[in-house]
Amino acid sequence: MELPQFFLLTVSFIFICIGVWLFFKIKALQPTQPLQHPHKKKFNRCTDFRVIRKEIWRAFQKHYKPLIIQASSLQRRKKELNDRMMKGENCQAEIDQLKQDIQKWSNRRDGAAEHVFKKANSFIPVQDKMDLHGLFVGDALKIVQRKLPSLKKNKDIHTMRISCGVGNHNGLGYSKIGRALSKMLKKNNIQFWVDHKIGFVNVNMKSVPDKIEYEITTIKIEDHIDEMTLEDKEINFGNEENEDNSNE
């Protein structure tokens, strides 16, 4: 009887030793640092997004802000010349100079829009997405009008996802760029669908024509001063810190 009892004690001791060894082995395999909490990961993404928006705003300030000041001056000169013309004064030389200055301003605006667009999209690593944040409506439409037919040549892009914003910050409750873009796409029979929750307009690239026909009005200069139009909503950018007052 003593032999079997000794055998059982020996076996039990062996199992205990194995259990202790496995315990310390598993503990040694665990990471020394605690696993990152999922909420912490979400916060990091949010921080990155704020950094991106800050960079877009800096580009807006650098390239658009000088045009805001100049636009105000152009509006004032236009009004003064209009008043003088109504009084019968001959202002043709000044009218011609104003036309040239407006054309230069318009060219600078196109360049400013391109700079802001490049900054916004420099953070996007994929080809099938573009971001229109930081742009005014007319400028955003011009860029899409120009780029979509060109991107259509890339056969790897089946759907172009265009970020227009959701309108949370413009007081309207909808994206101005998104609404205007939808109108332009419909006009050209381009297939698309809108994800309102995240503010994306998704375009079926197969339906994009070689040329998008759409009149985008920014500044029109006619032959006569009383027919000149520098539309306030276009030339007067406004001076609010905008994410959505003009960007969406």
Query: What pLDDT digit, counting tens, does each position of 142-168 carry?
Result: 999 999 999 999 999 999 999 998 876
Please name the amino acid found at residue 240: E
Show the CA angle centred on residue 58, arms to residues 52 and 235, nearest 5°. Answer: 120
113: Cβ contacts below 8 Å, ≥ 6 apart: 135, 136, 139, 140, 142, 143
Cα(27)–Cα(164) distance, integer angstroms: 50
Q: How confident is the model at residue 88 (pLDDT cuts 50, 70, 90)?
A: confident
Nearest CA among 75, 68, 115 for reference residue 242: 68
Around Cβ 120, how many Cβ atoms within 10 Å? 23
Q: Identify which has the larger pLDDT, 78 or 205.
A: 205
Cα of first residue to Cα of last residue in the chain, in angstroms, is 89
Task: Decide if 166 contacts 199 (C-beta within 8 A).
Answer: yes
The amino acid at 34: P
φ/ψ of 163, rounded to 5, equals -85, 115
Among 3-7, 64-68, 174-178, which stretch is predicted with the lowest mean pLDDT? 3-7
Among candidate residues 247, 237, 242, the one with its CA nearest the CA of residue 199: 247
Split at pLDDT 50, 70, 90, the class of 47 is: very low
Burial class (CB in 10 A: 0-12, 13-18, 19+), 170: buried
**pLDDT value at 224 more than 90:** no
From edge to edge, which strands make up the β-sheet containing 192-195?
129-131, 159-163, 200-204, 192-195
pLDDT value at residue 172: 63
Residue 48 has pLDDT above 80, yes or no: no
Given this model, what pLDDT does residue 150 score? 93
Residue 64: per-residue pLDDT: 87
Q: What is the reported pTM? A: 0.65
pLDDT for the residue 146: 94
CATH class of 126-218: alpha beta
Phi-psi region of 171 (alpha: psi -120 to 50; beta: other; left: phi over 0): left
